[in-house]
Amino acid sequence: MRSGPAATIHGLQDAVCARQPRPALFIDKDGTLVDDVPYNVDPARLSFKPGACKALALLSAGGFALVVVSNQSGLATGRFTAAQFDHLRSALCRALWLHGVVLDAFMVCPHAPGADGAPTCPCRKPAPGLFIEAAHRLQLDLAASWMVGDILDDVEAGHRAGCRSLLFDSGGETLWRTGPYREPDARASTWQDVVRIILDAPQRPAGAWQALPTDLP
């Protein structure tokens, strides 16, 4: 029978191993969580979509980890600095906290797309790198998770990570470029509908997930 520091270490290891992966709600920032103000880093211009904060609180209470996944090419192109964006991120997290919502992670791709608009890195949506990083960091079950975003690149990113994807139809998508990963599992125009769809959906079995390659075809 173990005792002392060794017992404590083994107890912690056993507790970690016993933890079950949990589902996540991956949330696009601009056009989904907040109104889309291009390249905004002014907290005064942050405005949550109607019902978003209440919806996140309900889904968090339902067992979902809350993870924002956001492309921020303005960092690469010099439209704003990392310090300015960090200030905005802190303000957004504090505003959510005041509504009783605590994010589990706020994941950002700071890279610019290529000349054709396609990712040049594994983390820019529609690549799934941010999702995979969050899954490993937070012990998430991607197969039981959802992505909510306002464009089909968000839908594709979620599917490439092994999640279900919901298109938040707020007018952000204008190209409607189709593809094998770009058909949403559901659509919603309000956050109330997002909650209803996700909580009413049949549960997918928790367990191993197979992430697709991060490089796009």
Dihedral angle computed from the Cα positions of residues 120, 123, 129 and 131, in that order, rounded to the nearest 10 degrees: -150
Strands 65-71 and 164-168: unpaired
**Residues near 88 by beta carbon (within 8 Å), at least 6 away in sequence:** 40, 41, 42, 43, 46
For the beta sheet containing 164-168, the strands, ordered from the edge strand earlier in sequence to the opposite edge, are: 105-109, 65-71, 24-27, 146-149, 164-168, 186-188
Contact 94, 100 (CB under 8 A): no
Please say if 30 is a catalytic residue: yes
Give φ, ψ of 62 to 5 degrees.
Answer: -85, 5
Alpha-carbon gap, residue 217 to 215, rounded angstroms: 7
* pLDDT at site 119: 87
Taking alpha carbons only, the member of 175, 135, 136, 143 closest to residue 159 is 143
Establish if 185 belongs to a structural domain.
yes
Residue 208 has pLDDT above 60, yes or no: no
pLDDT at 115: 86
Query: Is-catalytic flag, 116?
Result: no
Domain span including residue 152: 27-113+122-200
Burial of 192 (C-beta count, 10 Å sphere; 0-12/13-18/19+): middle
- Structural tokens at position 53: 């904060």
Whether the CB-CB separation of 186 and 160 falls below 8 Å is answered with no
Number of domains making up the chain: 1
Residue 162 lies in a domain: yes
Instruction: Tell me, yes or no, whether 209 lies in a domain.
Output: no
Q: Tens digit of pLDDT for each residue in 51-60?
A: 999 999 999 9
* 105 falls within a domain: yes
Give domain status of residue 60, yes or no. yes
Say if residue 129's pLDDT is above 90: yes
Integer-rounded Cα radius of gyration of the chain: 18
CATH assignment of the domain containing 166: 3.40.50.1000
Interval 163-186 mean pLDDT: 95
pLDDT higher at 200 or 5: 200
